[in-house]
Amino acid sequence: MQIPDSFAKPLRLDGPQPARRVLEALALEGYRSGELSRGQVGEVLGLSFQETEQFLHHHKAPGLTPEQNLEGVRNLEGLLSQKNP
């Protein structure tokens, strides 16, 4: 893909690893739009859980909403109740 220099420089695509920068931008936008989960962002970028958290925090990606936190707690409770009848 050819990107005009007038776009490449402000997006820092004229430096090292331009393909990586594009992949990070796509993953970040996918996360922000809700199309990718945190896990998927980490997977596509080849990051550990902690590295993914740092990446999202560094790019000021939104955190989990209270509703998402509550859903996670409910899912965990459901899993734990299945293991401990």
Residue-wise pLDDT tens digits, 2-41: 777 777 777 777 767 788 888 999 999 999 888 999 899 9
C-alpha angle with apex 58: 47 to 46, nearest 5 degrees?
Answer: 10
| Paired tokens of 47 | 């990051």
Q: Are 55 and 41 in contact (CB under 8 A)?
A: yes
pLDDT at 45 over 90: yes
**Model pLDDT for residues 50-65, shown as the tens digit of each residue:** 899 899 989 988 776 7
Q: Looking at residue 58, what is its pLDDT? A: 92
Residue 85 has what pLDDT?
57
CB 37 within 8 A of CB 49: no
